[in-house]
Amino acid sequence: MSFRLSKSVMPIRGITLSECDLSLFVAISFSAILPCYQLAFFHVFVRIFLLNAPFSKVYCVDTGAHAGEENMEFDRRIMAAFLDGRFQQKFGQQSSLWRFYAWRPYAITLGYNQPSSGIDTEKCRQAGVDVVRRPTGGRAVYHADEFTYSFFSDSSEQNSEIYRMVHEVIQQALEPLGIHAEFCRSTLQRSQGAQNAGSVSCFTASAKYELQVAGKKLVGSAQRKTRNVLLQHGSLPLSGRHRELCGFIAFSEESDPENIREEMERKTISLEEILGYIPQYDLLTELMHSALRSLHGTNVEVLHPDQLSDIL
């Protein structure tokens, strides 16, 4: 299970148990084997465990397709609302937010500290491709045929734990499509040389807990944390068009463009290449909602974008 149990529900084999029900379940299960004082202690432990779950409420919002700067500005404003407490004041402490969206026109995003010199901005301008900087780290991503998410939380959880939690939700959402994605267990070696795809492209540099299929990276994610507020961005390619980033890289004289294209082919994969077709954006949104509900029970609520307008 990816996210810890909320304080109000606990799903067990498809059954949703309230905190009161869980206490009764524990009492019945352990009354025959534990003395009364130990059972009472265990009951208190269960209540404390539930009350200290990191996310008491999970919200989702679908903002559709927007230009690159609009998408990144939206996330900067949501993160600011988490940092000054406006989001928590409206939606509750220990709440988190998933945002699902797409890009129109297509865009290249750069990691927060990534030099822009690695991208041929003039070629992007001529092709009508936006170039914007993400508030998160990592390397460049070409957002074309893609399902994109942002995840926001105010939690003391370690970054790596949230990274794992988020990818487990996506992993479960893909299961109904017959996609059995696996975690990358360690960081992959990057190719050596003056310039390679890994030095520019997010998708050829894998990190622990990222999702892969057949040894190829499927989801690219990056984080930024300020105090306890964390923003995680992620891209799920619908087709192989994410590899078109190669056409916008500013190659040096020592670079071999063909080697870089081959590296991206070898290390990355898309939903179309796995399934033989491109799933509809709305279907992926519903699969994400279903995966979250199966993990959180009734503690998942879908918002309309207008419900966030007063804190943006």
Let me know: does 240 contact 267? Beta carbons within 8 Å: no
DSSP 8-class letter at 85: T
Instruction: List residues with catalytic annotation.
Output: 202
* 176: its two tokens: 């109904």
Let me know: does 218 contact 212? Beta carbons within 8 Å: yes
Amino acid at 46: V
Give the distance, in angstroms, between the CA of residue 204 and the centroid of all CA atoms in the same chain. 17
DSSP 8-class letter at 119: B
DSSP 8-class letter at 94: T
Q: How far is Cα 296 from Cα 177, in angstroms, rounded to an integer?
A: 21
Q: How far is Cα 56 from Cα 79, in angstroms, rounded to an integer?
A: 18
Give the distance, in angstroms, between the CA of residue 136 and the centroid of all CA atoms in the same chain. 12
